[in-house]
Structure 1
Amino acid sequence: MKFNAVLDNLKTYEAGKPIELVVREYGIDAKDIIKLASNENPRGCSPLVQEAVCREASKMNLYPDDSMYELKEKLAKRFNVKDTNIAIGAGSDQIISFGVHAKANKNNKVLMAHTTFAMYEIYARQTGTTILKTKSDQHNLDEFLEIYNAHDDIAVIFLCLPNNPLGECLDRKDVYAFLDQIDSETLVIIDGAYQEYGAFKDKNKEIKPQDVIEKYPNVLYLGTFSKAYGLGGMRCGYGIAREEIIQPLLKLRAPFNITTLTLKAAIVALDDEKFVQNSLKENFEQMKLYEAFAQELGFDFIESFTNFITLSFDDSKNSSEISEKLLKKGIIIRNLGAYGMNAIRVTIGTPEQNARFMKEFKDIYLDNLVS
């Protein structure tokens, strides 16, 4: 059977290895495995959310409110925008898909950083568009502008702020200066999946959706409940933009694209800001331990504004071997070898998880067998 030719060279997104697979492959008891690969919030979600979902469980036979009125109303109040400025998706990934499929095609191009969220390229290639990337792994706006000015057919630009999988983040003033130079017909997607983390650590990194959509008619801001709110398993994200962007995107949305329980979880999650702030605070307290650990052992790290940290090595060590040896010890992290980097990405876990990672990693790192 023949399928669309664009699928021939399209890579499948590889999610972090699940605990269940490690149990099967390595025979390790599930209780002895820690997963620090997918940037889930190890602190879980608010107890208020857990209680609400349990109360709502009896309604699983019913479709959710497809208008998502209550959730949109709460998000609108949180970000000081209108509910008509908001689209809800099954994770912010779905809004990425809507944006790309609404603008990109075989006759134009999509621009992104060299090392960034893999789904940007995967969704873009589905449309047959041409992918353009900067030379630098991290976001370099001078390189973005150089490429942008060299082409008159760039339909979509992706800015991941803070960036996944590396963790760096641009200053707001630099982002706005960049946006000032982009034509209003080019859709700029600002992925703010980790914005709560970036803004908590440094207010200069904070991108406010209200400011963006008031000033820029071509910007789509993305947010999610998967990270700071601890609802990765519920799959709920959102896009915020002017109505002239949101309305076309909604034409790509299937009915009931999030579940009844997901909708309730997201609504209640917005009520417990204290939980989120405590989670952010502990995340960066623990991250300082990782930075000190890297300095102690003498390898590099990228300053992170997220809930993970990228650790990079010189040629005497190999990230793939380190990752495999950690896996055999029941510790799942993300090897960045697939991005052409000799580095690993580690989710900032609980204090107990982090202590175990550092102990096992140190033994492996200092082992002369790693080369």
Structure 2
Amino acid sequence: MKFNKILENIKNYEAGKPIELIVREFGVEPKDVLKLASNENPVGTSKMVVQALKKSANKAHLYPDDSMYELKDSLAKKYSIKPKNIIIGSGSDQVIEFVLHAKCSKNSAILVAGTTFSMYEIYAAHIGAKVYKTPSKSHNIDEFMEIYNSKKDEISVIFLCLPNNPLGECLDAKEVFEFIKSIDKDTLVVIDAAYNEFATYKDSKKHISPLEISKLKNTIYLGTFSKLYGLGGMRIGYGVADENIISNLAKLRPPFNVTTHALIAANEVLKDKEFIKKTLENNASEMVRYEKFAKKNGIKFINSYTNFITYIFDDKNSTQICDTLLKQGIILRDLKGYGLNAIRITVGLPKQNKRVLKALKALI
């Protein structure tokens, strides 16, 4: 059977290994598997969400509210914007897909950092759009500006992942908004802010305001409930932008693209201030633990504004480290696929981090 030739050069997204795989392959007891590879919330799921889902279990036979009124209203109040400035997606990934289908074609291109979230490139490949990358792996605004000015006629979308996944670095908001001002009004700038709540908690200068983004004519803010809010399994995210941008993206949204229970869970977790506070506090204190360990043991690391930290190795093989730990039931993310001899570690709970660092210490 013949398929679209575009598919020949598209690589599958490499997701973190699931717990079930480790149980099957290495005979590790499920309770002994520690998954710190996918940047999920180690605190778990909000109790308020669990209770709300129990109460709504008998709604599984009904289609969800396709207007998504309650969640849009909650987000609108949170960010002091209007519901018409919001689009809800099955994960913020789906909004990325909407953006590229709305703005790109085989005659256009996107611009991204040298190392960043791989789905930008994968979705662009679906359309046949070119991908321009900065020479630097992390975000360098001067490099973005130089490439944009030389390829302005081709570039339709610019992605700024702030903070950046899988590295963890983050630009200051002031620098970002100055950059946006210099971009043509017909080029869409995407601020992927999946981890921005963590960045804001660590350093207020990193905070990207959805309200400010909604006032711009060429920018969209992407948020997710998968990280801080602990709803990775629900697959729900959103975009905030000018009404014209949102109304055009909405034309690409399939009906009922988000489940009833995902909408209920997302709306409920926004109310759980204690859960959010606990998550941010744990991440901040345990991140310091990873930084101290790296300094003490001579490991290079990237100053992270996310819920993960990236360790970079000179004389150790990142794949061998990850494979060895995998057999012990510890799942970390090897970044060899990104061309880096590095591992990405989700910051877990104190007991979990103690186990990871002890195992790493034995290896190095």
How many residues align structurally?
Answer: 363
Q: What is the percentage of aligned positions where both structures have the same residue?
A: 57
1:273, 1:305 → 2: CA distance? 21
Instruction: Name 1:328's counterpart in structure 2.
Output: 327
1:99, 1:302 → 2: CA distance? 30
2:22, 2:14 → 1: CA distance? 15
Q: Letter of the aligned partner of 2:176 in structure 1?
A: V
Instruction: Tell me by how many angstroms 1:50 deviates.
Output: 0.8
- For residues 62-105 of structure 1, what are the alpha-carbon distances to aligned partners after superposition, in whole Å with 9 as ceiling and x for unaligned? 11111000100110111111100100001100001000111111
Q: Is the 8 A contact 2:213 2:240 kept in 1?
A: no
Q: Letter of the aligned partner of 2:175 in structure 1?
A: D
Q: Is the 8 A contact 2:168 2:310 kept in 1?
A: yes
Instruction: Name 1:72's counterpart in structure 2.
Output: 72
1:233 is paired with a residue of what secondary structure? helix
Instruction: Name 1:51's counterpart in structure 2.
Output: 51
1:273, 1:170 → 2: CA distance? 27
Question: Which 4+ runs in 1 deviate beyond 2 A?
Answer: none
1:178 is paired with a residue of what secondary structure? helix
2:4, 2:252 → 1: CA distance? 20
Unmatched runs of 5 consecutive residues or more in structure 1: 366-371
Instruction: Name 1:110's counterpart in structure 2.
Output: 110
2:114 is paired with a residue of what secondary structure? coil
Q: Is the 8 A contact 2:48 2:268 kept in 1?
A: yes
TM-score (norm 1): 0.97
2:207, 2:260 → 1: CA distance? 31
TM-score (norm 2): 0.99
1:274, 1:218 → 2: CA distance? 35
Instruction: Name 1:267's counterpart in structure 2.
Output: 267
Question: Do structure 1's residue 248 and structure 2's residue 241 form an aligned pair?
Answer: no
Instruction: Tell me by how many angstroms 1:29 deviates.
Output: 1.2
Q: Letter of the aligned partner of 1:167 in structure 2?
A: G
2:21, 2:325 → 1: CA distance? 15
Unmatched runs of 5 consecutive residues or more in structure 2: none
Instruction: Tell me by how many angstroms 1:45 deviates.
Output: 2.2
Instruction: Name 1:218's counterpart in structure 2.
Output: 218
2:105 is paired with a residue of what secondary structure? coil
Instruction: Tell me by how many angstroms 1:278 deviates.
Output: 1.8
1:52, 1:162 → 2: CA distance? 31
More displaced, 274-283 or 305-314? 274-283
Q: Letter of the aligned partner of 2:57 in structure 1?
A: A
1:133, 1:277 → 2: CA distance? 36
2:317, 2:140 → 1: CA distance? 27
2:31, 2:277 → 1: CA distance? 28
Instruction: Tell me by how many angstroms 1:274 deviates.
Output: 2.4
2:197 is paired with a residue of what secondary structure? helix
Equivalences for residues 102-181 of structure 1 within 5 A: 102-151=102-151, 152-181=153-182
2:203, 2:71 → 1: CA distance? 28
Question: Do structure 1's residue 342 and structure 2's residue 338 form an aligned pair?
Answer: no
1:11 is paired with a residue of what secondary structure? coil
Q: Letter of the aligned partner of 1:4 in structure 2?
A: N
Q: Letter of the aligned partner of 2:361 in structure 1?
A: K
Q: Letter of the aligned partner of 1:211 in structure 2?
A: E
Q: Is the 8 A contact 2:89 2:257 kept in 1?
A: yes
